[in-house]
Chains A and B, each alone.
Chain A
Amino acid sequence: MGLWQNQIMKTVTIQYPDQLDEQLRKLVSAGWFKTPEEGVVEALRRYLSGHSVELQEKQILEDVEWGLHGRD
């Protein structure tokens, strides 16, 4: 698990489409990840880094300001 090796880890069982599995295994074969699990954790980390509740709500409030007072 590299980056996460000293962290307490959770275990979840997921189902995902064959198409995604095929893409994931290509990345593993090409050396991007040691295991499919490592690829799933990296995908989750990247998604969560860009979708925090705080960030989403900050963007919405900025959008409200534009919606009310913008000039375009």
Chain B
Amino acid sequence: MAATEIVAVLDAGPLIHLDELGRLNLLNDFKELLVPQTVLDEALKHRPKLPLAELSNLEIISEPPPLSANLLKLADELALHAGERAALAVLDARGGQFLLSDDAAARTVARVVGFQTHGTIGLVLRASRRGKISKVEMLQLLRELPMRTTLHLRKELLDSILATAAENI
């Protein structure tokens, strides 16, 4: 499957959760995958053996630019962490399209200023849609989220997602 033209910036959540699933490589078909060093440091605290070599499109941004005044105000209001702020700053400065995050507040800020945001669950479903993994594997990964990852999900919500996914792909 060819890479998309999308430039995406990673927050720690999908990096950690996809590695917990052993499927970090679902991120390797974005044109550019940018991760601020602050975010990477946070992810490495949880997953010291992150197989970053699987991501040939990964670029580590050691010194993110400062946030614009507009983003800074929103980030302050929703008390975003340093990594989330850095990811938004990189997204803004590099003309990216996607913030990949599982954090509701970071996603809210990104959307307010016009970026698309997607998280671990969307990335697993996308991988099936794009033919990177089979439908069977996609359903298995979703089913195993509560056992294998630290992503919190209400059981009823997960059941509903599984039913929708089974019907639609």
Contacts and interface: CB of A to CB of B under 8 A. Distances in A.
A49 B108 CA distance: 11
Interface in A17-48: 43, 46-47
A30 B123 CA distance: 43
A53 B117 CA distance: 17
Interface string B132-169: 00000000000000000000011001000100110011
Interface residues of A, number: 22
A50 B104 CA distance: 6
Given A46-B78, A60-B157, A67 B123 contact: yes
Determine the main DSSP class of B at the interface with A.
helix
A63 B78 contact: no
A57 B79 contact: no
Given A51-B104, A51-B105, A56-B104, A43 B79 contact: yes
Contacts of B80: 50
B122 A67 contact: yes
Contact of A72 (B4, B105, B117, B169): B4
B104 A64 contact: no
A59 B117 contact: yes
Contacts of B77: 46, 49
Nearest 3 pairs between A and B by C-beta?
A67-B125, A50-B105, A63-B122
Interface string B68-106: 000000000111100000000000000001000001110
Interface string B106-127: 0110000000111101111110
Nearest to B30: A72
A59 B110 CA distance: 12
B156 to A, nearest CB: 10
A50 B108 contact: yes
B154 A57 contact: yes
B6 interface: yes
B34 to A, nearest CB: 16
A63 B119 contact: yes
B4 A67 contact: no
Nearest to A64: B161
A60 to B, nearest CB: 6
A52 B164 contact: no
Given A43-B79, A60-B121, A63-B125, 7 more contacts: A46-B79, A53-B154, A55-B108, A60-B161, A67-B124, A67-B126, A72-B6
